[in-house]
Amino acid sequence: MVRGFGWAAAFPDEVWEHVFSFLAADADRNAVALVCRAWHRIERRSRRRVFVGNCYAVAPAAAVRRFPEVRAAAIKGKPHFADFNLVPTDWGGGAEAWVEAMAEGWPHLEELRLKRMVVSDDCLELIARSFKNFGVLSLVSCDGFSTAGLAAFAANCRNLRELDLHENEVEDNCLNWISHFPDSFTSLVSLNIACLEGDVNTSVLECLISRCPNLRTLRLNHAMPLEKLVSLLQRAPQLVDLGTSKFSADHHPELFFKLESTFAGFKHLKSLSGIWEAGPAYLPAIYSVCESLTSLNLCYATIQSPELLKLVSRCKNLQRLWVMDLIEDNGLIAVAASCKLLQELRVFPSDPYGVAPPISLTEHGLVAISAGCLMLHSVLYFCRQMTNAALLTIANNRPNLTCFRLCIIEPHTPDYISQEPLDAGFSAIVESCKDLRRLSLSGLLTDRVFKSIGASANRLEMLSVAFAGDSDAGLHYILSGCKNLRKLEIRDCPFGDKALLDNASKLETMRSLWMSSCSVTLGACRQLALKMPRLNVEVIDERRGRPLESWPDDFPVEKLYIYRTVAGPRSDTPPCVWTV
């Protein structure tokens, strides 16, 4: 009989390592690490990819020490609501601590992906200098750096393959940063500079593109004029993913023909984006690639419905479509008829503050899509009206939805026909779509919808709630149900202390909870922090009055961010944040 777990020694470590390499999910590798000491040791030594969903959940040095052979890391910082200016700009999420620890402990790091973090120019330079084989840098929704930092990065990163700058706030202080890539640099595969505001020197970029034969992805920024774009693109007919610059100019037939033939030359193009300010004159130049496109992002294109319709009807193989609500219901009906392989749809508001005459995008468009696109699983939809009946139809049509984010622009909007709350509609969604992982609610909603969500949304991982609910019961339903909930973000709801305290232990099973403009008091936060030492309870108050200790228990908390952590309270809180 084998004593204890001695069977682990029956095979050499390399064999177990090879077995573990088939486990893609971190959760599975975590489970393996709990079986015995030997497996814990083998697993941690062989883990190559690390994902840190909250940069404050663990100390950088601890993470680096536990997994010494990491080659790829992804780290997220600020809460999601930072995207909508609800989080103070100095809240935190600085990348230095992580980059410094990684420079020390992971010299072989090849990939780094940061989201919603504050990255300084020094950080960028440190990244370029510290990792000999560094190949992939992805910065999404970050800020704190400038084009001077990018210049330093370009100059020092010898083997860079991917530079992905997505929706960052980048200070423009170095005009020719692209020229800092050395002449010997030829390894570029993917370059995304769409978020940069400044001009980019076209001839330098052309040179770069010409000497990088493996370039597959090129996403330019808005600034480049159309004529220059054409000559640039002629150097890279092998592109698979293209983000154009401005797509409008005074009409020149010659320019149009050049543009058209350039696009005709793209034999491998699958993904198209950019197309800022597209005019009807130049849009038809794209027609030749439509058939092969699987991803089309038109959310910056102020194209009206008729032109949009003509364009998307040709995209028979489209899997992902991001578009402005200018497409209108008619356009979406055409999409439903033509794009049978559609999996993801996002419709953004062209006029979020309602100053222009309203356009004809209603619930009908979404219903048509749900009926016509059988593979649809991910939806983000901004509109101004909705009915329970429409939501029920969508739920019945598409039980395979995994992500449903509906934003009815005016808060508290009821079913516009029955004037009822939209409880029934959203309940239908969670009851029908058993694999729903992400849900955003809007419109007039009572506690009833939360009862349904708590009971039915068993796979739900992320829930966003705004201007909804009647009482604490709403929050209680969520926290006492939703077995797999990881992230909960709530604003402007009448949820308070009782639900929070009654479900304190639930919070340790989640990554984070954000509550702003709700009815939570400081006293409850204090109690919660006392009860749950492995939670950081951060109270955010930007009025910067007296320190937290002096406020009474019934002090209303404006913004609250709670997250589980093994690192204890963080040391970099700004003046407006207190860890209770």
Partner 1 sequence: MEAAASYVKDGDDLRDTELRLGLPGTEAPEKPAAPSTRGSKRALQEDGDMESRAKSRPLEVDCGEAPAAKTQIVGWPPIRSYRRNSFPPRKVEAEAEAEAAGLYVKVSMDGAPYLRKIDLKVYKGYKELREAIDNMFKCFTQGEVSRKEGCSSGSESAITYEDKDGDLMLVGDVPWEMFISSCRRLRIMKGCEVRGLRTRQYS
Binding footprint of partner 1 on the chain (CB under 8 A) = 81, 83-86, 88-90, 118, 120, 141, 143-144, 167, 169, 171-173, 195, 197, 222-223, 225, 246, 277, 300, 302, 326, 348-357, 382, 407, 409, 411, 440, 464, 466, 491, 574
According to DSSP, the residues that pair with 137 across neighbouring strands are 112, 163
Taking the complex as a whole, the smallest distance from the CB of residue 43 to partner 1 amounts, in Å, to 38
Taking the complex as a whole, the smallest distance from the CB of residue 291 to partner 1 amounts, in Å, to 29
Taking the complex as a whole, the smallest distance from the CB of residue 146 to partner 1 amounts, in Å, to 8
For partner 1, the closer CB: 69 or 167: 167
For partner 1, the closer CB: 36 or 409: 409
* Helical axes 37-46 vs 26-33, angle rounded to 10°: 140
Q: What does the block give as tokens for 122?
A: 């020094």
Q: Is the dihedral of CA 342, 344, 350, 352 positive or negative?
A: positive
For partner 1, the closer CB: 195 or 528: 195
Taking the complex as a whole, the smallest distance from the CB of residue 475 to partner 1 amounts, in Å, to 20
For partner 1, the closer CB: 144 or 425: 144
How many whole angstroms separate alpha carbon 50 and alpha carbon 69?
10
Q: Is the dihedral of CA 306, 307, 310, 316 positive or negative?
A: negative
For partner 1, the closer CB: 22 or 353: 353
Taking the complex as a whole, the smallest distance from the CB of residue 467 to partner 1 amounts, in Å, to 8
Q: Where are the alpha helices (DSSP H) in 345-466?
A: 363-372, 388-397, 423-432, 447-456
Taking the complex as a whole, the smallest distance from the CB of residue 302 to partner 1 amounts, in Å, to 7
For partner 1, the closer CB: 53 or 279: 279
For partner 1, the closer CB: 341 or 409: 409
Taking the complex as a whole, the smallest distance from the CB of residue 163 to partner 1 amounts, in Å, to 19
Q: What does the block give as tokens for 89?
A: 């700009």
Q: Which of 63, 34, 37, 40 is nearest to 50 (CA)?
A: 63
> With the CA atoms of 56, 61, 66 and 71 taken in that order, what torsion angle do they form, in degrees rounded to the nearest 10?
90
How many whole angstroms separate alpha carbon 205 and alpha carbon 522?
54
Taking the complex as a whole, the smallest distance from the CB of residue 300 to partner 1 amounts, in Å, to 6
How many whole angstroms separate alpha carbon 111 and alpha carbon 113?
7
For partner 1, the closer CB: 397 or 442: 442
Amino acid at site 399: P
How many whole angstroms separate alpha carbon 548 and alpha carbon 322?
44
Q: What does the block give as tokens for 241?
A: 């993913």
Could you tell me the end-to-end alpha-carbon distance of the chain, in angstroms, rounded to an integer?
Answer: 53
